Amino acid sequence: MTALDDAITARGPGAGSVVSIENQLITQLSDRLCATDAVELTEGGSPARLFRLQTPDGQSIVLKVLVDVPGAVDGHDLASFRVKIGQILKIRREVPELRSVYTDLCDQFHGKNWSAYTMPYYESVDIGASLRPDGIDPERFWSDMTQVLSDLLSFGYLRSAVSVGVGHINSVHMDRLARRFWVLRKYLPGDLCDADVIVINGVRCRNPLGLALAMADSDLTHRIDPQRLYYPVHGDLNMRNILVTEDRYRVIDPRGTIHHWDPAYDIAKLLFSLTVWDAAMRRGFNIGRGREWSIGVRGGRYQGYRNAASQLVPQLRSLSGFGELTAGDSGWESRVLLGHAFHTLAEAACRLSAAKKRTGEAGDCQFTPLELAVGHYLYGVLFLEDAVRQLEMEGAIDTEATLSLLDL
Kindly give, in sequence order, each residue whose CB lies less than 8 Å from that of residue 317, ignoring residues fewer than 6 positions away. none
What's the confidence (pLDDT) of residue 9?
Answer: 42
Residue-level pLDDT at 364: 62
Domains and CATH numbers, the chain: 2-120 (3.30.200.20), 125-407 (3.90.1200)
Q: For residue 197, how many other CB atoms are within 10 A of its CB?
A: 9
β-pair partners for 404: none
Is this structure's pTM higher than 0.75? yes
* pLDDT score of 5: 39
Q: What is the pLDDT of residue 10?
A: 40
Task: State the pLDDT at residue 365.
Answer: 67
Question: Taking 50 as the threshold, does the pLDDT of residue 1 lie above it?
Answer: no
Residue 11 has pLDDT above 90, yes or no: no
Q: So what's the pLDDT on residue 362?
A: 67
**Residue 34 predicted with pLDDT over 80:** yes
| Better-scored residue on pLDDT, 319 or 70 | 319
Residue ranges of E strands in 253-309: 285-289, 293-297
Q: Which pLDDT score is estimated for 118? A: 98
The pLDDT of residue 3: 41
Higher pLDDT, 391 or 13: 391
**What percent of the chain is modeled with pLDDT above 90?**
83
Q: What is the pLDDT of residues 287-320, one digit of tens each?
A: 999 889 999 999 999 999 999 999 999 999 999 9
C-beta of residue 271 within 8 angstroms of C-beta of residue 277? no
The mean-pLDDT minimum among 32-36, 75-79, 307-311, 383-387 falls in 75-79
Q: What b/e sequence results for 287-302 when a residue is b if at least 16 CB atoms lie within 10 Å of its CB, and e otherwise? A: beeeeebebbbbeebb
Band the pLDDT of 71: cuts 50, 70, 90. confident
Q: What is the mean pLDDT of the chain?
A: 92
Q: Is pLDDT of 12 > 50?
A: no
Higher-confidence residue: 273 or 367? 273
Residue 2's pLDDT band (boundaries 50, 70, 90)? very low
Span 238-265, average pLDDT = 96
Angle between helices 175-187 and 208-216 (to 10 degrees): 160
pLDDT band, residue 380 (cuts 50/70/90):
very high
Specify the length of the chain in residues. 408
Higher pLDDT, 353 or 398: 398
Q: What is the pLDDT of residues 115-140, one digit of tens each?
A: 999 999 999 999 999 999 877 899 99
The pLDDT score that the predictor gives to residue 4 is 35
Q: Which residue has the higher pLDDT, 168 or 19?
A: 168
Beta carbons of 279 and 110 less than 8 angstroms apart: no
Tally helices (H) and strands (E) across the chain.
15, 16
CA-to-CA distance for 382 and 378, rounded, in angstroms? 6
